[in-house]
Structure 1
Amino acid sequence: MEAGQPAQRLPSYSVETATLAKKVAELESERAECELVLETLSGLETEVTLRSEGGDGSLERLPRRCWQQVGSVLVERRKEEIVALLESQRDRLQYVINELQRQLQMTQAPAATEERAR
């Protein structure tokens, strides 16, 4: 191995490290958003009580409806469905974040070693 090769790889490690760090930050923001919505929904009842339209003054219990934006479309679902989806999404995001952080550590280790060798 030539003396210049490790120094030439250093910029590539820096770019890869920056890219991974940016992606981790994006995913952590998305996971925090899931947490915020879950926290908000946790304070709401599963059903709502509405006055029936018959005019007789009776009350009716209906499932609480939530809307989730998927791409450019709003999708209507029950609270339980949205909570289950968000919990699953949060868990998947955490898994990916952990994997990217592991890759980030692996990328930073060779860069630090090569930096010390210079």
Structure 2
Amino acid sequence: MLSDRTISNLKKNITSNSKFNIKAGLIKCMGDPTCLKILYIISREKEVCPSDLVSILGISMPAISHQLARLKQMGVVKTKRMGQIICYSFSDTKEAKSIKNIIKTIAL
């Protein structure tokens, strides 16, 4: 049985819903085939433009942009502007590193 102190500490740790919401969003994203494909492509090519993803996946630009915006909001990808083109790559966050490891582990 947990001590009162342990229960109190656990309650404090889980009251910060924002960090749990971010983690849940990452897990949800990994369960979405389109998002997982995008992450796989970025992990293989290091830097990808949305138009490349449209060509590879055969999905509309709005659908690709939506997924990339979600990934950027969660801190998984970062952007680099090259003229009028924006390219996406993995960020240096622990979330991005975790996702890269998951992709390697499931051997896509």
Q: Same fold (TM over 0.5)?
A: no
- TM-score, normalising length: structure 2: 0.34
Structure 1 or 2, whichever has the larger Rg, is 1
